Amino acid sequence: MSRGTAIPEVLPAEVLTDAPTYDVVVVGFGIAGGCAALEAARAGARVLLLEKAAVHGGTSSMSGGHFYLGGGTAVQQATGHEDSPEEMYKYLVAVSKEPEHDKIRAYCEGSVEHFEWLEALGFEFERSYYPEKAVIQPGTEGLMYTGNEKVWPYKEQARPAPRGHKVPVPGDTEGTKMVMDLLRERIEEAGVEVRYETGATHLVADGSGAVRGLAWKSFEETGYVAGAVVIAAGGFVMNPDMVAEHTPRLAEKPFTLGSTYDDGLGIRLGASVGAELKHMDEPFITAPFYPPASLITGFVVNQDGERFCNEDGYHSRTSQFVMEQPDSAAYLIVDSEHVEYPKFPLVPLIDGFETITELEDALGLPAGSVAKTLERYNELAAAGEDVDFHKAPEWLAPQGVGPWAVFDLRLGKAMYAGFTLGGLRVSVDGEAQRPDGSVIPGLYAAGACASNIAQDGKGYCSGTQLGEGSFFGRRAGRAAASRGR
């Protein structure tokens, strides 16, 4: 076992003899830890919040600010989009790899209340809708589609509704920082004690296996603290040893999305007292080829020159299909009538080709393979129905006018980015669980080091991690408070 995968030693309860006692000790001040600490304090608990960095925010602060919320939020209502907890539930069950029905039900039925709780921190989602197919709203629009709601087969399993609620900050990074700053203010008002540049190093458990507190380190200083523990210390994308062990595809080429402290220590702390790890082998990896949306009318082929998915899927779903192809190789082909060039191309243009034969030769694809695929694709587009892969009619258009542009979707050529999704097995209230489902008393987890709704890249919707991190963080904080007091 390499150093980066080492499981910390569990310390005996005797080390807590003279340690200060809190009702709840939260590890990590990202969205999940912040929400856990605030809810625990509002429930009357005495709360200590430890953050390894010098500032609050964690990886959450780096993100654009999408929260996946639905069931009839004020933004959905104001923009004329009908949604219900039941339709949201049906959709999330359909896209989940191994749906945990109690969690999805709680998340959907609590979504409107959670939306209102977030706004009560001190901001408002703009009551506006962005109708284009994009990765994130470029402006301050409050709502857009950020998943596969309108994509086959899910559009037939649940009524589509947009649920990507973006905070009113333009651009695609750091929108969440505004929420984290407000969360810090509310946490101070609630009387939470926050210690920066202080990380957890070991859990402390008694003879029965119950977690009683933790050991901490701040520079050269070390100590202990007693209390129920909520781990919200992020994922493991910045730990090369854990990535190599669990999600080797993420180690190969992609640009990793995370902060320095996404080192998986929270997950390893949970494992040290017997918590099960779930979905550790499922990364989120993506290289969006839209916007511009017109590129979606093109077709994607593998190195056999054949289509393998409907090209109108949410970008991480399409990317996951690419990863499954031989050598993770794929190409997007668009004719000159439909091609537009991205302002910030994550998927590079290889070239334009006057003939399909020339294109096949240049890419080393089997002779006649793309020609055959193109002929079939144009037949389907002309008929207005993709019976092969069920791409929505609005994105079907014959690609018959040369030259043809080819964009490179190959892993290592396109700008793939990724992060980890797996984590500790937890109950709907964030209680850490062993492989047999039993609960480890005194230990809770939320956010990127817990396994909840986000399970794999194919089913992912933008906003899921902030949405579930904040929602289940709140539940973990309340549950820990009720145990700690």
Whether 300 shows a pLDDT value over 50: the answer reads: yes
**pLDDT at residue 158 greater than cutoff 90:** yes
Residue 245 has a CB neighbour count (10 Å cut-off) of 18
- Give the up-direction half-sphere exposure of residue 331: CA atoms within 13 A in the CB hemisphere: 22
Tokens of 301: 């082929």
For residue 254, what pLDDT is reported? Answer: 59
Rounded CA-CA distance 30/398 in Å is 47
Q: If you search the block for the tokens 């309108």, which residue do you land on?
A: 150
The pLDDT, as a whole number, for residue 484 is 63
pTM to 2 decimals? 0.94
Chain centre distance of CA 164: 12
Q: Across residues 211-217, what is the average pLDDT?
A: 98
As a whole number, mean pLDDT of residues 312-320 equals 91
Structure confidence at residue 173 as a pLDDT band (50, 70, 90): confident
CA 189, CA 38: separation in Å to the nearest integer? 9
pLDDT single digits (tens) 53-68: 888 877 776 777 899 9
Query: What pLDDT score does 417 carry?
Result: 81
Q: What is the pLDDT of residue 3?
A: 67
Q: Nearest-5° angle of CA 161, CA 167, CA 169?
A: 130
What's the CA gap between 271 and 187, in Å, rounded? 29
pLDDT of 343: 75
Residue 259 has pLDDT above 70, yes or no: no
**Which residue in 86, 81, 119, 132 sits closest to 105, CA to CA?**
86
Query: pLDDT at position 1, please?
Result: 45
125 in helix, strand or coil? coil
Q: Tens digits of per-residue pLDDT, 67-118? A: 999 999 999 999 999 999 999 999 999 999 999 999 999 999 999 999 999 9
Asked whether the predicted pLDDT for residue 10 surpasses 90, the reply is: yes
User: Residue 97: which of 450, 458, 425, 389 has the closest Cα?
Assistant: 458
Lowest-confidence segment of 137-151, 238-252, 362-376 by average pLDDT = 238-252
309: CB partners within 8 A, 6+ apart:
300, 317, 318, 321, 389
What is the distance between the alpha carbons of residues 259 and 84, in angstroms, rounded to a whole number? 35
